Amino acid sequence: MSAHTSGHAPADPFAGPGARARAALVREIVADGGLSDPGWRSAFAAVPRHLFVPCYFVNRSGVYERMWREDPDPEERDRWLHGAYEDAPLATRLRDGTLLSSSSQPSLMARMLQALEAAPGDRVLEIGAGTGYNAALLAHRLGDAAVTTVDVEPEVVESARRHLDEAGYHPVVAVGDGSRGHPGRAPFDAVIATCAPASVPDPWISQCRPGARIVAPLSTGVIALRVGSDGRSAEGRFLHTSAYFVPLRGGAAPLEPGAGGLPRRAIENDLFRFLLTLTAGTLDPREALSLWEREHRPGRRRFGVTVGGGRQWAWLDDPEGPYAWPLGAAGA
């Protein structure tokens, strides 16, 4: 049963076909092994993604084509609506042809939300408001009052709030530096990020209750951490899935890995790129390749992150080594 108790949203002319397209999307995600939690399945079935992407851009042969719900051509409006319910990320903000923000792939959002292990009664902080769609899913499951979403860009916050209002959801939507969390609404039972930090910001941990979950993009994967009983440490492993998110603004920039002299087969391998990015600035690219091949090309689930004692590090198989690498300055 939904925890959402907001008032009625304005009439939506796309409500009927949107509901049918949404049901098809949910079936697709379930068939692929996602949305095993009935609470999140209900949220994805109920929250109208199309209200959060009234305009988006599709890359066609290197050129972004605008899709929008106010298009005078009814066939184009139909393409916009069905595109909103494809299991794919949607580019929502561009500047000079550069992608600034997007609505994430729904099946990836489902995996991250389930990894959060949040339930009614929990308070959640979202880093990166985006379109507001993820906050709406959280609000539907947990209730408006339980959800806080922050973004450093005022125009993003205003847009997300407008979309949420139109859909009938009213969580706290605030302007703020996501790397600093949101102390005024702490403590939280969970933190979820929709942008990638270089390392885990200390405030995310200190603003959580012991035992809380933190789920965030890192390197080209998603880390799921459990906050320790001391409220100052955290540890966890990566999910199996790949993930590519825009960097967290306000925090340290992620290091770009070098790949000079490496064979093309390695550079183009998604799992090796994950290791190369995770160890950037610590391992020489050739050392990274040697390790990856020696350890039988490990997948993301064999890797984890530990934060504590003023430092944080990534590791393969065991936090105590023998394979561990500094993940950047704690609190960066």
| 219 catalytic residue (yes or no) | no
Instruction: Catalytic residue, from 6, 36, 101, 107: name it.
Output: 101
Q: Is the peptide bond before 187 cis (omega within 30 degrees of 0)?
A: yes
Question: Encoding tokens for residue 174?
Answer: 């605030």
C-alpha 251/C-alpha 198 separation (Å) is 7
> What count of Cα atoms within 13 Å lies in the side-chain half-sphere of residue 50?
28
**Cβ–Cβ under 8 Å, residues 116 and 188:** no
CA distance 62 to 58: 9
Asked if 278 and 314 touch (Cβ cutoff 8 Å), the reply is yes
> CB of 286 within 8 A of CB of 259?
no
Q: What is the DSSP string of 177-220?
A: -GGG--GGG--EEEEEESSB-SS--HHHHHTEEEEEEEEEEETT
> Running DSSP on this structure, what letter comes out for residue 250?
T
Cα–Cα–Cα angle for 175, 310, 279, nearest 5°?
85
Which tokens is 279 given? 């160890």
Residues labelled as active-site residues: 101
